[in-house]
Amino acid sequence: YGGPNSCKVRRTTPTPNMIHFCSNLGAIVAWIDGRGSSNR
């Protein structure tokens, strides 16, 4: 999956909406990732 790199690319866009969406997506991905690793 796209890591923090994809977020950095979106952060260069002037729309704060995309930045907010990206940060939310990153948090969700990290949360799912943490759950998955703990289930392993």
Q: Which sequence spans correspond to the domains of the chain? A: 4-35
Looking at residue 1, what is its pLDDT? 47
What is the model's pTM? 0.36
Looking at residue 39, what is its pLDDT? 59
CB 6 within 8 A of CB 23: no
4 Cβ neighbours under 8 A, 6+ residues apart:
26
6 Cβ neighbours under 8 A, 6+ residues apart:
22
Looking at residue 6, what is its pLDDT? 54
Q: What is the pLDDT of residues 2-40, one digit of tens each?
A: 555 555 555 455 666 666 666 777 788 888 777 776 655
Please, where are the H alpha helices in 1-40? 4-11, 16-39
Cα end-to-end span (Å), the chain: 18
